[in-house]
Structure 1
Amino acid sequence: MTARGPDHGYLLDNRQSEAGIRFGALAELFDPVTFRHVDRLGITTGMRCWEVGAGGPSVPAGLAARVGPTGAVVATDIDVSWAQGAADDIVEVLRHDVAADPPPPGGFDLVHARLVLVHVTDRAEALRRMIQALRPGGALLLEDADPRLQPLLCPDESGPEQRLANRLRSGFRELMAARGADLAYGRTLPRLLREAGLDDVQADAYFPITSPACTVLEAATVRQIRDRLVTSGLATDEEIDQHLENVATGRLDLATAPLVSAWGRRP
């Protein structure tokens, strides 16, 4: 695959059935982190929010609960099939490419993207458009992974099951990089927000080491990419079957890449 040059198609296709399982696991893992920051930023009744790359419905629904009937939430994604469950009088769901399409009309008090820009080839343009959509004083909250900070699925590599898990995770990272993902993007967010002229830039990071949601996420992710792992020569069907059996025992301490959250305000 890498011999053919970069493949910029999205590796984790929203149209696959496993996508819904992944969105549920990501919501369980990261929604508390996201909404801790949203609440710290003062998002409340009557405000307008843009959720970029919404994926599933949980974040748009949580934003809608905060802004209420006098506010508005615009949830966008290239594929909105899983986000449609959040659509109502407050949440408008739109098909949209953040790096190519103009921002939705009207200024926003909050623009948020989670686990989006790491997969976008023209990240700089996407960031510019999100900042452009902010009202003066509006907040941008970006949350993205940094797999190179912590590349292991099993940080405690104590046996053959953990070594296999880490080797398959390395293959997943290789597939991501071949599609233009920046595996060190998360750590750059504070600097990028400052360089873009935002004020009061801050950041933190979070990653679980053991969680039932990590187990669900790993099984769904591997099933979603198994054909690509095999055809790329990164794993055999037998190795993937063994790994899925190991994951199903619930005895592996599975982690995620650190989620870096960075935020700032438009002057």
Structure 2
Amino acid sequence: MAEDESDRGYLLDNQQSEAGIRFGALAELFNPVTFRHVDDLGIGPGMRCWEVGAGGPSVPLGLAERVAPTGTVLATDIDASWTRDIAGGTIEVLSHDVAADPPPPGGFDLVHARLVLVHVADRAEALRRMVQALRPGGWLLLEDADPMLQPLPCPDESGPEQRLANRLRSGFRTLMEGRGADLAYGRTLPRVLREAGLEDVQADAYFPITSPACDVLEAATVRQVRHLLTAQGIATDEDIDRHLANVATGRLDVGTAPMISAWGRRP
């Protein structure tokens, strides 16, 4: 290969055609978990929320429903193209790099990031800036994957279809590590929140083992990185076509990596 693919940034580019499909599947899988925590933290009318690395529109819209009519939601991302259309009223959308740009001013009652920091090279600085943005008593809710905690998309490796799925996911993890992802980051969240000076820290974990949205997410993700899997010699086009056909049957029982949710309050 003439160019090192590992030096070209975030593996799952928001501008790629599969990104919207992925955002929809992630919303179906994880929004119930996210908003259970948001509601338990008491986020409601009049509050200010910062959604970091928003990606798709579903979380900013859900937060806006909770803080309306007098609250505000700031949705930021390095690539804000998937959230620009929801700007207006309660929601403001900005292009922003959480690890490089100053935190937005004003103080927030909630700062939330889901499946973001695992991909950020300078996680410690990003976390510092999110904590800095909290008002006293404000909550930081971080939700991130821990693929190494349960690395198999098919824990029930009962046949060649499941073995192929697990081999391709192993290759995908190799690509992520090459881009600087920390595949064991999720489990560290309670500790890093305490080390950041937050109080009342708690955490839990969730991952679906099978659902239609898991199949949609798996197919979209594999299609999105197909060229990298083949270029790196991780899989052949025949391997990928066979795997996508297996997923399409709906009988593969393919799951996701565990998502750790951790939250803490600024004193």
Equivalent position of 1:15 in the other structure: 15
User: Is the counterpart of residue 122 in structure 1 residue 122 in structure 2?
Assistant: yes
Instruction: In structure 2, give the amino acid aligned to 1:196.
Output: A
Instruction: In structure 1, give the amino acid aligned to 2:107.
Output: G
**TM-score by structure 1 length?**
0.98
Equivalent position of 2:263 in the other structure: 263
Instruction: In structure 2, give the amino acid aligned to 1:256.
Output: T
Instruction: In structure 2, give the amino acid aligned to 1:60.
Output: P
User: Is the counterpart of residue 198 in structure 1 residue 195 in structure 2?
Assistant: no
Name structure 1 gaps, 5 residues minimum. Answer: none
Give a deviation string over 1:127-151, Cα, whole Å, max 9, x none: 0000000000000000000000011
Q: What is the distance in 1 between the residues matched to 2:149 and 2:263?
A: 20
Give the match's secondary structure for 2:144: strand
The number of equivalent residue pairs is 266
Quote how far apart the aligned CAs of 1:104 are.
Answer: 1.3
Q: What is the distance in 2 between the residues matched to 1:237 and 1:76?
A: 36
State the Cα RMSD in Å.
1.2
Equivalent position of 1:160 in the other structure: 160
Instruction: In structure 2, give the amino acid aligned to 1:109.
Output: D
Instruction: In structure 1, give the amino acid aligned to 2:243.
Output: H
Equivalent position of 2:88 in the other structure: 88
Give the match's secondary structure for 1:131: helix
- Please tell me whether the aligned partners of residues 72 and 91 of structure 1 are also in contact (alpha carbons under 8 angstroms): yes
Give the match's secondary structure for 1:189: helix
**TM-score by structure 2 length?**
0.98
Equivalent position of 1:31 in the other structure: 31
- Please tell me whether the aligned partners of residues 150 and 258 of structure 2 are also in contact (alpha carbons under 8 angstroms): yes
Quote how far apart the aligned CAs of 1:5 are.
Answer: 9.2
Instruction: In structure 2, give the amino acid aligned to 1:116.
Output: V
- Between the aligned residues of both structures, percent identity stands at 81
Give the match's secondary structure for 1:149: coil
Give the match's secondary structure for 1:111: strand
> Residues 25-104 of structure 1: matches in 2 within 5 Å?
25-104=25-104
Instruction: In structure 1, give the amino acid aligned to 2:143.
Output: E
Q: What is the distance in 1 between the residues matched to 2:62 and 2:23?
A: 14
Instruction: In structure 1, give the amino acid aligned to 2:23.
Output: F
Give the match's secondary structure for 2:54: coil
Instruction: In structure 2, give the amino acid aligned to 1:157.
Output: E
Equivalent position of 1:250 in the other structure: 250
Q: What is the distance in 1 between the residues matched to 2:86 and 2:53?
A: 13
Quote how far apart the aligned CAs of 1:6 are.
Answer: 4.9
Quote how far apart the aligned CAs of 1:88 are.
Answer: 2.1
Question: Runs of 4 or more off by more than 6 Å in structure 1?
Answer: none
Q: What is the distance in 2 between the residues matched to 1:83 and 1:148?
A: 30
- Please tell me whether the aligned partners of residues 118 and 145 of structure 2 are also in contact (alpha carbons under 8 angstroms): yes
- Please tell me whether the aligned partners of residues 6 and 175 of structure 2 are also in contact (alpha carbons under 8 angstroms): no
Equivalent position of 1:228 in the other structure: 228
- Please tell me whether the aligned partners of residues 8 and 178 of structure 1 are also in contact (alpha carbons under 8 angstroms): no
Give the match's secondary structure for 1:201: strand
Equivalent position of 2:241 in the other structure: 241
Quote how far apart the aligned CAs of 1:86 are.
Answer: 2.5
Equivalent position of 1:110 in the other structure: 110
Name structure 2 gaps, 5 residues minimum. Answer: none
Quote how far apart the aligned CAs of 1:43 are.
Answer: 0.3
Of stretches 81-90 and 11-20 in structure 1, the one that deviates more from structure 2 is 81-90
- Please tell me whether the aligned partners of residues 58 and 86 of structure 1 are also in contact (alpha carbons under 8 angstroms): no
Give the match's secondary structure for 2:181: coil
Give the match's secondary structure for 1:170: helix
- Please tell me whether the aligned partners of residues 8 and 180 of structure 1 are also in contact (alpha carbons under 8 angstroms): no
Give the match's secondary structure for 2:69: coil
Equivalent position of 1:169 in the other structure: 169
Q: What is the distance in 2 between the residues matched to 1:117 and 1:43?
A: 22
Q: What is the distance in 2 between the residues matched to 1:264 and 1:8?
A: 33
Instruction: In structure 1, give the amino acid aligned to 2:27.
Output: A
Q: What is the distance in 2 between the residues matched to 1:207 and 1:20?
A: 21
Instruction: In structure 2, give the amino acid aligned to 1:180.
Output: G
Using a 3 Å threshold, how does the CA distance of structure 1 residues 134 and 180 change in structure 2: closer, same or farther? same
